[in-house]
Amino acid sequence: MNFNQGRNLGFIAQEIKEVFPEVVSQDSKGYYSVAYSNVVPVLVEAMKEQQQTIAQLQTQLQKNEAELASFKEKMSRIEASLQRLERLAAREENLNGRADLVEKQTTGNK
């Protein structure tokens, strides 16, 4: 068959034939061959589609990252508000405790 010495790379013609039969031929001895130059346009278009998909995914990722940053900011504000409420509640509890103590002292002195 006059193949090059060493390792050779290529497609399995029978597999390519299932998808693109127009690029595969069979000789009189039953050997298959692939017209690689006819496969190149298909591969280029596949790469273009893949690049479009990658670009769409990158855009979606950027959008998701922006939304996540927004959620983190909102969560931070909520946590700060909660801390303020907890401090206010602690102050009120402290004031109520002091008021009860004063009331007991006042009632106890009578």
Residue-wise pLDDT tens digits, 56-91? 999 999 999 999 999 999 999 999 999 999 999 988
pLDDT higher than 80, residue 3:
no
The answer to which of 13-27, 79-93, 94-108 has the lowest mean pLDDT is 94-108
Q: Distance between the two ends of the chain, CA-based, in angstroms?
A: 120
Tell me how crowded residue 23 is: count the other CB atoms within 10 A of its CB. 19
- In angstroms, the CA 24 to CA 16 distance is 7
pLDDT bin (cut points 50, 70, 90) of residue 19 is very high
DSSP β-bridge partners for residue 33: 25
Could you tell me the residue ranges of all domains in the chain?
1-34, 39-108
Distances (CA, A) of 104 to 90, 91, 93, 95, 96: 21, 20, 16, 14, 12
Res 63: pLDDT? 98
